[in-house]
Chains A and B, each alone.
Chain A
Amino acid sequence: MTAMKKIVSEIQSFHLFLRILIVLVTAGFFAAIARFTFGLGATTNLNDIYPWGLWISFDVVTSVPLAAGAFVLGAIVHCFHIKKLEPLVRPAIVTGFLGYSLVCIGLLLDLGQPQRGWHVFAYPNLHSPMFEVALCVMSYTTVALLEFLSPVCEKLGFHLPLRVLRTLELPLIVLGAAIATLHQSTIGTFFLIAVDKLHNLWYNPILPLLFWISAVFTGMCIIIIEAVMVHRYLNQPDETDLLATLARIIPWFLGIYLALKVFALFYLSERPLFDRPVLTALFTIEMVAGIIIPMIMFLQKRIRTDGVLQLRAAGLVVMFGLVLNRFNVSMFGMIQKNQQIYYPSAIESIVTIGIIAAHILFFAVVARYFPIFEHHSEDTDYAIADGFHRTKGPVVPEKV
């Protein structure tokens, strides 16, 4: 009972915002139960014309790139050895791990027979992009978990595992980036099969490549957003300068993306392109607000170095360059002419909101209880006491 009491008192000490999140997560949990009790037909607005709706569009197709910060930053910091950005790595890893775990939960909810999820391993189909994504997402989640276990072990003082994890850190990062490349792009490959369904504005053979590139720059932008958020709300230091460095890379990726996109549109896509006014509008917003404007913004030093403007530019990229793009590809661009429109049901919305709330909530909780913001150099040596025993005193050394 003491444990319960402790939990309750902890929660009561949470900020109101977090407590609201708890309510939303709980609501999402019950909505999920409703989905299993009454079935997908009764609880969602999905039907034979729209077999995939909000859960796939947001919880899978959008959430996966939103969690891309982990592998992007990991690669930048540890492979390219841009140590300046090192403090941002751990939070990114947590975001990544949480993001992918919630993707897995979202997927399980969306499946008709989630209890058969293991069938993907028992009856694999190497030609199926979904098999590849399932495999990669599961492996990546495992990698993210292992990466996440570092701060956990630090907090809980598990020395040997920590040492193992430390050794594995770089291989895991490389592995993570490699796996992430695969599934980020393969989510784009999903839609290659929808050749007569996805509108020509988005359908082209290099869709997977475009998805990967957008995942990369989104990851970077998410890091910016996250860093600004934790500075504003979790008392973390202002990392604007660090972020400015990151912001220098972003416009390059945006530029390459834009170039490829234009090339694909005019040389690889089928015609007609501009026959649907609503879709043309969505496409324009996506490209202008999501790519062109932020690119211009990030190219300017004064914006890169301004905390507020950084956030805005990054936000534009994420909102329009990524979220809108993913919805355009998986939902809006798939609507046929003169077809009924799909909109998510209450249960679908509550579940998705619950998942988003869970992400924020668990991040805040993890940030509160685990050392993800401590800056520590890679050079820190951990004395190895005999085997598994804890060292005396705090494991985490003083700031160097």
Chain B
Amino acid sequence: MSTTRDLSNQRTFLIDLTKCTGCRGCQVACKQWNQMEAEKTSFFKGEGYQNPATLSEYTLTTIQFKDYFHEGKNEFSFYKAMCMHCNDPACVSVCPVSAFVKTPEGPVIYDTKKCIGCRFCMIACPFGIPRYQWSKALPLVVKCTGCYSRVKEGLIPACAKACPTAIKYGGRQEMIDEAKRRLTANPGRYMNRIYGLEEAGGTSVLYLSAVPFDDIGFRNVTRRPLPSRTWAALRFVPAAFITMGGSLAFISWLTHRKEKIRRDKEMKEAGHASQKGDRS
């Protein structure tokens, strides 16, 4: 749905990956604030020191490591995978029980009490964020809450608070301006792109990177907000219903009328015939 609401003060993350040292302070802070279980891991799952392998019902954010040679030099890059808290979220639009809500402050939150576990949000999310409690008999969907419980009390999210270097948090326009400022001040240091600015119609998590975004695991996501694609079809529902129902009703009436006329004619002729027969 298009909205003309003013997003300039919406709480937004600016994650400058040229500053991220892959320390995982954010991962641990998230676990601590949300009291999530630690997963059983062994060695590392992925390049570098990556653990756990990916987001899951126990892990709402991970640092994805990339250890490679880029343009002849070593690169050791880190990407904080997390919910993008889209401005026009696909998950909000597809959830049949309205369990997802885009809050006015910015975080996209999720009401566990409403969820029926249909997993449509998992299909819908272009970033592949929502995870499922496969380990439970009555599973629910799990995803980063944007620390809404903190944000609405005026605090910043746990990961942003713990991060000593890379994560900034503030109004959306402020973060965009800061990102642009960094790109112009130090063009040699950055890929000239703010990921999250336009993806999925714009998100509340903006990234800057030194290496190509594709190299370190970012997905190529459409710029058009996803709900608009569904709505393009869904908005025809009432019309389709009325058209279909109406035309069939009309056709039925038409054919039945034709039938009736034909039968009346037959009966009249039969009546005449019998009348004629009677007279003779």
Contacts and interface: CB of A to CB of B under 8 A. Distances in A.
Given A120-B96, A179-B241, A127 B234 contact: yes
Contacts of B96: 119-120, 124-125, 128, 130-131, 134
A181 B241 CA distance: 7
Contacts of A207: 233
Interface string A150-168: 0000000000000000000
Nearest to A115: B138
Given A81-B259, A117-B116, A189-B233, A182 B252 contact: no
Interface string B210-230: 000000000111101011011
Nearest to A38: B137
A170 interface: yes
A193 interface: yes
B137 A36 contact: yes
A208 interface: yes
Contact of A174 (B54, B114, B234, B248): B248
A113 B99 CA distance: 13
A192 B120 CA distance: 12
Interface string A190-202: 1011111100000
Nearest to A120: B96
B116 A129 contact: no
Contact of A41 (B97, B139, B256): B139
A179 B243 CA distance: 11
B126 A51 contact: no
A114 to B, nearest CB: 7
A173 B251 CA distance: 12
Nearest to A180: B244
A114 B118 CA distance: 9
Contacts of A190: 94, 120, 123
Contact of B126 (A124, A129, A195): A195
Contact of B255 (A79, A174, A208): A79
Interface string B63-80: 000000000000000000
A79 B259 CA distance: 12
A193 B137 contact: no
Contacts of A122: 97
Interface stretch (B28-36, B128-136, B188-196): B128-136
B248 A75 contact: yes
Given A174-B249, A185-B233, A205-B233, A196 B219 contact: yes
Nearest to A46: B134
A193 B226 CA distance: 6
Contact of A177 (B123, B227, B242, B245): B245
A344 interface: no
Interface residues of B, number: 63
Interface string B105-146: 000000000111111101110101001111111111100000
Contacts of A111: 116-118
Contacts of A42: 134
Contacts of B123: 51-52, 190, 193-194, 197, 334
Of the four ranges (under 10, 10 to 19, 20 to 34, 35 or more), the interface on chain A belongs to 35 or more
B237 interface: yes
A52 B219 CA distance: 21
Given A114-B116, A123-B99, A182 B241 contact: yes
B221 A196 contact: yes
Interface in A30-48: 36-42, 46-48
A170 B252 contact: yes
B93 to A, nearest CB: 5
Nearest to A133: B96
Contact of A47 (B134, B138, B229): B134
A47 B94 CA distance: 20
B248 A116 contact: no
A112 B1 CA distance: 28
A96 B132 CA distance: 33
B117 A112 contact: yes
Contact of A119 (B97, B126, B224): B97
Given A48-B54, A127-B234, A174 B252 contact: yes
A78 interface: yes
A177 B250 CA distance: 13
Nearest to B247: A79
Contacts of B259: 81
Interface of B: 1, 54-56, 90, 92-99, 114-120, 122-124, 126, 128, 131-141, 219-222, 224, 226-227, 229-234, 237, 240-242, 244-245, 248-249, 251-252, 255-256, 258-259
For the complex of A and B, the 9 pairs showing the least CB-CB separation, nearest first, are: A112-B117, A41-B134, A178-B245, A81-B255, A51-B122, A51-B119, A130-B96, A39-B137, A112-B139
9 contacts: A37-B137, A46-B134, A48-B122, A48-B134, A51-B132, A111-B117, A112-B138, A193-B230, A194-B123
Given A113-B116, A125-B96, 10 more contacts: A41-B135, A42-B134, A48-B56, A117-B116, A124-B96, A125-B95, A127-B1, A129-B94, A182-B237, A193-B229
